[in-house]
A and B are shown apart, each in its own frame.
Chain A
Amino acid sequence: MNIENFELIYKDNRVIIENKPKIKEKLSKIVGNANVSDNEIDIMAYNKDTTLLAFNWTLEGKLTALPDFIVWPETPEQISSILKLANEEGIPVIPFSEGSGAVGGAIAIYGGIILDMKKFNKILEINDKDLTVTVEAGTNGMNLERYLNAKGYTGGHIPQSLYTSSVGGWIAHRAAGQFSSKYGKIEDIVMGMELVLPQGDIIKFKTIARASTGPQLDKLFIGNEGTLGIVTKATLKIWPFPEKRALISYAFTTFEDSLEATRQILRQQIYPAVIRIYDADETYRHFGHIENAKNKVMVVFVCEGVKKLVDLEAIITRETCEKNNGIDCGEEPVNHWFETRFRVTETSFAPTLKMVADTIEIGFLWDNAANMYHSVLETTKKVKGVIMMTAHISHFYPNGIGFYFTFAGIPPEEKTDLEFYQEVWNTVVKVVEDAGGSFSHHHGVGITRSHWMPVEWGKAFETLKSIKKLLDPNNILNPGKIYESPWDEGMES
């Protein structure tokens, strides 16, 4: 056994499966021998998602968690049978798609069955009149987008993890793409869904532009993080591939000016597909080569769509930036962003210096946003060991924004990586929650953020927990996430 050579991070409260061979046989009966494994090589492959701390553990030769089985179902009916079996036997089932989740959502902290959705990878139908695509939930984002592009469309949902995430993962985490100011976030894009509920019922939400048929129950499952149901299929909005793109960038002397310019743009109902504000530190990191951006705050815009509209959007965007003291930096910064946006190298570098890093993307209203930004920076930098705290803003609404903080630090000798990590997070969340913000804009809750759910939700959290209990009375679907926090011990609230 190799696994004994690896320290296991999540080792407490593991489910004890009395008769593993019997369970394996039953799973094989459902999905076939080739679609079940308890081989070391497979269960090790599913020991983690893309939680940044897990990269440090990987390098140090540790395993984040260990599932008992991996299954690769191919039909909703098979998923239903797996869930029924899991309920009978009391075994956790953890949905897994591309494993790019950043909050531990797909990690089998108590062991159990990883239910990998990768074999649900067919693009079923494009409807040009309705502007929809129906797709199986395990389909990789880039493979979907490339397909749509080849047929003359875009899905408009382009997260930075496009290459390494799936439709089901997007829905599960209420994801947001980089082009979201124009095309919307995933909850604006999903039009219909098929799901398997924790006890095995298969339900469908009809594809419709809008309906008034009682509460919108489908929304409950967008952001359910694989705890209330497993998405097997979805119908998503699509758009004709943009006829024109305008690439615009402005540098601002103050963060406040950049916020004011973008807020005014949106107030005029101008929706550039991409808007990104980089604070001065991130401007130096990403646009250090742009002369006009020295010691400034860079803002990049991409307006896209029908030519006439793009031209108008570009004019208003430019005018508004200039009115707010913006300095035109031309197309180069935007081209640079296009060239580098998927080239992720930091995750390979930071762990080799034993650095602990993470991204904290929070939701905030416009009012007081600048103050909140400054106080997050100020308080976090005081945490011993923090060496970097920077931010950009990547998502914009007429009423608010999604901040994206990045921190990195070297845990002081008296602290473990995890303790340091939690201290930074506690600090940020406190500032954000005190100021009325939300602790996650689009990465979700998972394991790493569930600790703050009671603060975020208040009394409504009890309602949410009741819903979970109703749908999943045996708590077999993705336990240890959202509703309970395996990290509570030793954490300050």
Chain B
Amino acid sequence: MGEILKKYKWMGPIIDAMDRDVKRLFMKNFRMRDKNFFPEGEYKADIKNLVNCMLCPNMCRFDCGTLQAEQKETMSPAYKARIGYYLTIGKIDPSKEENKAFIDLMYKCSNEESCKIWCPFEFSVVSLLETVRDDLNDKGLMPDYCKEQIDKLKKTNTIEDHNIYETYKEKGIENIETDGNDEVYYYIGCESMKFPEVVKANIELLKKAGVRFSTNLETKVCCGGPAFNIRDLETAKDFANRNKDLIEKTGANVVVSDCPGCVVTLTSRYQKAGIEIGTKVIHIVEYIKQLIDEGKLKFEKNVSDEFSKITIHDPCLIARNLNDTTSIRAILNKIPGLEISEPMYNKDSVHCCGWSGTAHWADRSLAIKEAKNRVNELKETGSNVFLSACPLCELGLAYGLSEGDKENIKIIDIAELLIKAL
């Protein structure tokens, strides 16, 4: 209430000038505001901001990845919030089978948070949808595609249907177990394990720089990010605690991950869940930049022609959540002869690859459309090498390639390029 009074200070003289009857009604509406529209109850949903969002003229619509992918009003941010509100207050009964599509809508977001840039209330739509998911979960209404992910986490400790960390040997990835006295814990994401060449490249870079590090793949588990997205906070916290132990055991000064999703989870999401990792956690691009600055890594070779002209796809998690758009560029600028092109939507206005958040579980074809949109934007630069620094982006963008594109376009991680220039 105080906040409203401050923001709408200009209404003071208007209220003073009201005649008695009108003022009485106005004051009644003011007093009853919460009761009328923000009913009390056992909600976790952020009802006030759902209302703020649903009554906005959709001022972020042009930058909403899922809306731009689908081009249907149904996917618009304000409508998602509106449905979230109706599900919460029971205007749409979430427990009815016929309303599954409305529940699914609460998951059709790729967490890219571009909406937040334009939001006068400074929230992202996903931050609201997550609170609606909390209530759905409490009512036992978690969608099956989310339950599947939680099952996988519980069974395999990863987001895959097998423990993907156990595949390190067959993929030729060197595992370095900690002696409890590491400088760095190279924290490999579940999804990064799908790109063994990237992991190997990162290991090579760290070795080249003389860093004392471990990978601990024998005991490694998922960061719990997917459980945070799904809002199964019990599972999420379980993973958080296990990771905290694993990280502490390494004695590392810094945890360096190749997956920005892991970095965001290990830092701000754990913090919000009340679990504090004492060790600094950063993305590997930030660390590599540091190594370059300290003179521990040098890139002296030109990369082959095939890779000499690249276009940067900023992972939205690095650009917008970790607020780092400089490391990638600072590193790339050190590679001799490299031609860097920037897509129109870059840095903190980057568009998502489609593979973040829950959308790709809730509606794979939607996520693929989003990926295709991004691929088309990257293609505009004329460069055939798309460079990123996130396994999810590398997965998503690959889904966005047409058959023809697959022959011409390469999607690479920054580490793969860097080892070519060592």
**Whole-angstrom distance from the CB of B104 to the nearest CB of chain A?**
9
Residues B1-17 near A (CB distance < 8 A)? 4, 7-10, 13-15, 17
- Say yes or no: is B407 at the interface (Cβ < 8 Å to chain A): no
B277 at the interface (CB under 8 A from A): no
Residues of B contacting A: mostly? helix
Given A284-B10, A347-B57, A387-B18, 14 more pairs with CB closer than 8 A? A41-B102, A42-B73, A50-B57, A58-B55, A59-B54, A61-B86, A118-B72, A140-B61, A142-B62, A146-B344, A163-B59, A288-B9, A345-B7, A348-B56
Inter-chain contacts of A58 with B (CB < 8 A)? 54-55, 82
Q: Which residue from chain B places its CB closest to the CB of A74 in the assembled complex?
A: B71
Which A35-85 residues have C-beta < 8 A from chain B? 39-42, 45-46, 50, 55, 58-59, 61, 70, 72
- In the complex, whether A413 has a CB less than 8 A from a CB of chain B is yes
Chain B nearest CB, measured from A341 CB (Å): 11
Instruction: List residues of chain A with CB within 8 A of the CB of B33.
Output: 352-353
8 A-B residue pairs with Cβ-Cβ distance under 8 Å, sorted by A, are A2-B91, A5-B92, A40-B101, A41-B83, A70-B73, A288-B9, A384-B21, A410-B29
Q: Which residues of A contact B105 (CB under 8 A)?
A: 41
Quick check: which of A14-22, A95-103, A364-372 contacts chain B, the rest being far away?
A: A95-103
Q: Within 8 Å CB of B55, what residues of A?
A: 55, 58-59, 347-348, 351
Q: Is A338 an interface residue (CB 8 A)?
A: no
Residue of A nearest to B365 (CB): A34
B57 x A161 contact (CB < 8 A) = yes
* Contact (Cβ within 8 A) B62 A46: no
- Once the chains are docked, how many angstroms separate the CA of A142 from the CA of B15? 37
Q: Mark B36-68, 1 if CB is under 8 A from A, else 0.
A: 110000000000000111111111111100000
Q: CA separation between A116 and B51, bound complex, in Å?
A: 25
Taking residues whose C-beta sits less than 8 angstroms from the other chain, chain B's interface range is: 35 or more
Instruction: Name the residue of chain A whose CB is nearest to the CB of B7.
Output: A345
The verdict on B99 contacting chain A, using a C-beta distance below 8 Å, is yes
CA distance A119 to B55 in the complex (A): 24
Interface flag for A207 (CB, 8 Å)? no
Of the listed residues A2, A343, A353, A410, the one surrounded by the most CB atoms of chain B closer than 10 A to its CB is: A353
- Asked if A32 is at the interface (CB within 8 A of a chain B CB), the reply is no
3 tightest A-B CB contacts, nearest first: A343-B120, A118-B71, A285-B10
Inter-chain contact A39/B101, CB cutoff 8 Å: yes
Q: Does B22 sit at the interface, judged by CB under 8 A? A: yes
Cβ of A5: which chain B residues have Cβ within 8 Å of it? 91-92
For the A-B complex, the count of residue pairs with Cβ-Cβ distances under 8 Å equals: 139
- The yes or no answer to A263 lying at the interface (CB within 8 A) is no
Counting chain B CB atoms within 10 Å of each CB, the highest count among A285, A345, A351 belongs to A345
Q: Are A164 and B57 in contact (CB under 8 A)?
A: yes
Query: B120 touching A6 by the CB < 8 A rule?
Result: no
Q: Within the complex, which residue of B59, B86, B101, B344 is in contact with A344, where a contact is CB–CB below 8 Å?
A: B59
Complex-state Cα separation, A47 to B366, whole angstroms: 23
Query: Which chain B residue shows the least CB distance to A96?
Result: B73
Contact of A2 among B8, B10, B61, B92 (CB under 8 A): B92
- What B residues does A457 contact at CB under 8 A? none
Contact of A348 among B9, B13, B18, B51 (CB under 8 A): B51
Asked whether A42 lies within 8 Å of B51 as measured between CB atoms, the reply is no
Please state if A46 and B73 are interface contacts (CB–CB under 8 Å): yes
Contact with B along A441-459 (1 / 0, CB 8 A): 0000000000000000000
Whether A384 touches B91, Cβ cut-off 8 Å, given contacts A55-B55, A353-B30, is no
Known pairs A2-B99, A147-B344; A45 contacts B57 (CB<8 A):
no
Pick the contact of B51: A1, A118, A352, A387 (CB < 8 A).
A352
- List, in ascending order, chain A residues with CB within 8 A of B73's CB: 42, 45-46, 70, 96, 99, 116, 118
At the interface, yes or no: B333 with Cβ under 8 Å from chain A? no
Return chain A residues, CB-CB under 8 Å to B60: 163
Contacts of A410 in B (CB 8 A): 22, 25-26, 29
* Docked pose: A58 CA to B21 CA in angstroms: 26
Question: Given the complex, which residues of B lie within 8 Å of A45, measured CB to CB?
Answer: 72-74, 76, 79
Residues of B within 8 A of A385 (CB): 22
CB distance from B25 to the nearest CB of A (A): 5
Number of A interface residues in the complex (CB < 8 A): 59
A195 CA to B420 CA in the complex, in Å?
54
A354 beta carbon closer than 8 Å to chain B: yes
> Does A8 sit within 8 A of B, measured CB to CB?
no
| Chain B residues with CB below 8 A from A413, complex form | 25
Decide: B74 and A41 in contact? CB cutoff 8 A: yes
The answer to whether B51 touches A59 (Cβ under 8 A) is yes
Residues from chain A with Cβ under 8 Å of B15 in the complex:
387
A121 at the interface (CB under 8 A from B): yes
Point out the residue from A39, A61, A147, A164 that lies within 8 Å of B91, measured CB to CB. A61
User: Does A342 have its Cβ within 8 Å of any Cβ on chain B?
Assistant: yes
Interface centre among B37, B53, B57, B82, by most chain A C-beta atoms within 10 angstroms, is B57
**What is the bound-complex CA distance between A288 and B6, given in angstroms?**
13
Any B CB within 8 A of the CB of A460: no
Pair B22/A384 contact, Cβ less than 8 Å = yes
CB distance from B195 to the nearest CB of A (A): 31
Complex contacts, A354 vs chain B, CB 8 Å: 29, 36
Is B145 among interface residues, defined by CB-CB distance under 8 A?
no
A412 at interface, CB cutoff 8 A: yes
Q: Is B118 interfacial (CB-CB < 8 Å)?
A: yes
**Within 8 Å CB of B53, what residues of A?**
348
- Which chain B residue has the least Cβ–Cβ distance from A163? B59
- Across the interface, do B25 and A163 meet the contact criterion of CB distance under 8 Å? no
Chain B nearest CB: distance from A392 CB in Å?
Answer: 14
Partner of B61, one of A59, A163, A342, A353: A163
Is the C-beta of A150 less than 8 angstroms from some C-beta in chain B?
yes
Q: Which one of A99, A347, A388 lies within 8 Å of B14 (CB-CB)?
A: A388
Chain B residues, Cβ within 8 Å of A359: none
Contact partners of A344 in chain B: CB under 8 A? 56-57, 59, 120
**A6-B91, A143-B62, A410-B25 given as contacts; is B52 within 8 A of A345 (CB)?**
yes
Q: Which of A100, A118, A138 has the most chain B CB atoms inside 10 A of its CB?
A: A118
Given A39-B101, A343-B120, check contact A121 B62 (CB 8 Å).
no
**Chain A residues within an 8 Å CB radius of B71:** 72, 116, 118-119, 121, 138
Q: Within 8 Å CB of B7, what residues of A?
A: 345
Of B36, B58, B101, which one neighbours A41 at CB under 8 angstroms?
B101
Which residues of chain A come closer than 8 Å to B59, judged between CB atoms?
163-164, 342-344
Interchain CA distance A39-B98 in the complex, whole Å? 11
